[in-house]
Structure 1
Amino acid sequence: MQTISTTPFEDKLNYPLKKKQISVLQINLGKRCNLACTHCHVEASPKRTEEISPQICEDLISLIYKFPQIQIVDLTGGAPEMNYGFKPLVEAARVTGKQVIVRSNLTIYFEEEFDDLPEYFAQHQVRVVASLPCYLADNVDKMRGNGVFDRSTQALQWLNKLGYGKQKNLILDLVYNPPLPTNAKFSLAPEQTKLEQDYKIFLQEHFDIVFNNLFTITNLPVGRTKMHLERQKLHTSYLQFLESHFNGSTVEHLMCRDQLSIDYLGNVYDCDFNQMMHLPARTHNGESLTVAKLLEFDNLDLINEIQTASYCYGCTAGCGSSCGGALL
């Protein structure tokens, strides 16, 4: 085990990282997935079976109905579409006027029993945030598996035919992740606006694909990314690299500020990365939270200070990183 010789994140800030009013509910429905990507911080795969239970799903639906302050319900996984409760949660959120985001790997549409998803998404005006870590086939297949790029472009064409990327209420966003480093020549994600234009030009010219936004997301040393870095003996140096690019201007915009992250067991975290590292959100008196407790207390805003760790430097390096891309 390597010793992490970085400044504790809370010391770098010199002040507690405070929660704002909650407006985003991000739900990780489970670890079932049809892919096993090399950079997956969730460590999802076709072999995983963990998923949300009927009771937790029912509690989450109650939460969605009970709190109008929730503006966005963000569904992730694994492949969220494969896990129990996906459609009931989509429909509860849409009935209550909330935006629904699905974090889709695109290839799921070609799996048996899931070929109705693009039409379902369009019917419910679900915002699709799709992983496409590069616009070149070789790079995508190395990270996500053979044939993933071809299926991804076919899926994007399918979504375009339904109006995604073209109609106002059918938003299609793509996500860029840098390749995992194999030596100490680390780099942050390219400038988001410029890379978005590169993606749009290439995908339009070669595949007649259009989309709305590109999100650049830093690989945080969590899950399979952390395991890769440890195998390469790069974990400590990567954290030091991230710390050296710390940008205090990103802190105001961090996604953990106005978000609750819920796992398939109903536990509450400040963000998906803390969830994967088993670092629960806590109230002012140190109590961890569950969806059932939020319902019992009739309050989403029970967390004062956000739990932080060394990997938080990944969200605050350079232009910052979040589930919605760069922060600046």
Structure 2
Amino acid sequence: MIQTAITPFKQKLASPLTKKEITVLQINLGKRCNLACSHCHVEAGPKRTEELSPETCQQLIEIIQRFPQIQIVDLTGGAPEMNYGFKPLVEAARATGKQVIVRSNLTIFFEDGFADLPEYFAKHKVRVVASLPCYLSDNVDKMRGAGVYDGSIKALQWLNQLGYGKEPDLIVDLVYNPQLPKDEKFSLTPNQTKLERDYKQYLQENFDITFNNLFTITNLPVGRTKLSLERKKLYTPYLQFLESHFNAGTVEHLMCLDEISIDYLGNVYDCDFNQMMNVPAKTRDGENLTVAKLLETGSLDLINQVQTAAYCYGCTAGTGSSCGGALV
């Protein structure tokens, strides 16, 4: 008998996902981007205009300054660097001793008005997490657009010249995403440790590039990935594939447990995927959360349980997946 239903994710769990103390503040600054990648769960691109408002930016700076429990401020987009508030948020976080992560597409360095970014990153010791979905050019350009691979290579060489990948406080990590499925021959991400060795060897031998870590991230059926799967009638089969590889050992390491994700309007979510699917975080009383509410109550720890959905199988399949790569 062929299974057609997807088991609700929460039924797979021994107990509900309970929020821990919030230590990671992930902010999606908006949907403006110089690229329009085929797998983008944010559906960002050059024609998108949604971005942080000055008011929300100021509230976020206040949160960064008021809550010492935040250890990491993780800036994403779109291309976060193109959206309002990027540099003020970097500087507020660094001034309070927090680590700043920027999720960069690297090619932004070569757009008009952004050539100062590599030096700016180095000056503020920003940790760069850069998308390079393969170490071979064909696969990258198919997913991200013609010429993106060459631009990414030049950008990594530029960062290396500034000490990234070499000096202990200048960290550059790369992110691997699988190709989007074309048929029902689905696969999980490869072994992260082995793939990192392959990336390092290839990039060193061919381009004299060094980097710190490789993160393997599963394509979650959200945003453009979901649309692509639906067009090919693969959405339900892909979810079934992810469910069939559910690994209970990943659950205690999920990124949603100790982070909150903020959108450009100041709404609060448990993770970036819930944000894109408009599944807001809830207080114990079932109320939706905003940045204004966090400031008003003086607490980041108002969420009891993480909101879940079928796409959560993407984070818990195989070795697991998070913004920091494999979980186990």
* Both structures adopt the same fold (TM-score exceeding 0.5): yes
Distance, in Å, in 1 between the alignment partners of 2:200 and 2:311 is 31
One-letter code aligned to 1:114: F
Distance, in Å, in 1 between the alignment partners of 2:5 and 2:283 is 29
1:25-64 counterparts in 2 under 5 A?
A: 25-64=25-64
Shift of 1:108: 0.1
Shift of 1:223: 0.1
1:98-247 counterparts in 2 under 5 A?
A: 98-247=98-247
Residue 175 of structure 1: SS of its match in structure 2? strand
Shift of 1:65: 0.2
Shift of 1:151: 0.3
One-letter code aligned to 2:82: M
Q: Which residue of 2 aligns with 1:84?
A: 84
Q: Which residue of 2 aligns with 1:320?
A: 320
Residue 154 of structure 1: SS of its match in structure 2? helix
One-letter code aligned to 1:168: P
Shift in alpha-carbon separation, 1:17–1:4, aligned structure 2, 3 A: farther
Shift in alpha-carbon separation, 1:67–1:142, aligned structure 2, 3 A: same
Q: Is residue 248 of structure 1 aligned with residue 241 of structure 2?
A: no
Distance, in Å, in 2 between the alignment partners of 1:210 and 1:11 is 43
CA deviation digits over 1:176-201, x for unaligned, max 9?
Answer: 00000000000000000000000000
Higher mean alpha-carbon deviation, 13-22 vs 193-202, is at 13-22
One-letter code aligned to 2:123: Q
Distance, in Å, in 1 between the alignment partners of 2:79 and 2:7 is 35
Distance, in Å, in 2 between the alignment partners of 1:248 and 1:143 is 31
Shift of 1:14: 3.6
Question: What stretches of structure 1 move > 6 A for 4+ residues in a row?
Answer: none
Residue 47 of structure 2: SS of its match in structure 1? coil
Distance, in Å, in 2 between the alignment partners of 1:295 and 1:207 is 47
Q: Which residue of 2 aligns with 1:275?
A: 275
Distance, in Å, in 2 between the alignment partners of 1:21 and 1:42 is 26
One-letter code aligned to 1:62: E
Q: Structure 1: 5+ residue runs without aligned partners?
A: none
CA deviation digits over 1:250-279, x for unaligned, max 9?
Answer: 000000000000000000000000000000
One-letter code aligned to 1:276: M
CA deviation digits over 1:63-94, x for unaligned, max 9?
Answer: 00000000000000000000000000000000
Distance, in Å, in 2 between the alignment partners of 1:28 and 1:96 is 20
Distance, in Å, in 2 between the alignment partners of 1:113 and 1:35 is 16
Q: Is residue 264 of structure 1 aligned with residue 264 of structure 2?
A: yes
Distance, in Å, in 1 between the alignment partners of 2:174 and 2:272 is 19
Q: Which residue of 2 aligns with 1:74?
A: 74
Shift of 1:4: 7.0
CA deviation digits over 1:188-229, x for unaligned, max 9?
Answer: 000000000000000000000000000000000000000000
Shift of 1:5: 1.7
Shift of 1:142: 0.1
Percent identical: 77
Distance, in Å, in 1 between the alignment partners of 2:57 and 2:283 is 23
Residue 215 of structure 1: SS of its match in structure 2? strand
Q: TM-score, normalised by structure 2?
A: 0.99
Shift in alpha-carbon separation, 1:115–1:4, aligned structure 2, 3 A: farther
One-letter code aligned to 2:215: F
Q: TM-score, normalised by structure 1?
A: 0.99
Shift of 1:15: 1.7
Higher mean alpha-carbon deviation, 162-171 vs 10-19, is at 10-19
Q: Which residue of 2 aligns with 1:304?
A: 304
One-letter code aligned to 2:302: L
One-letter code aligned to 2:214: L
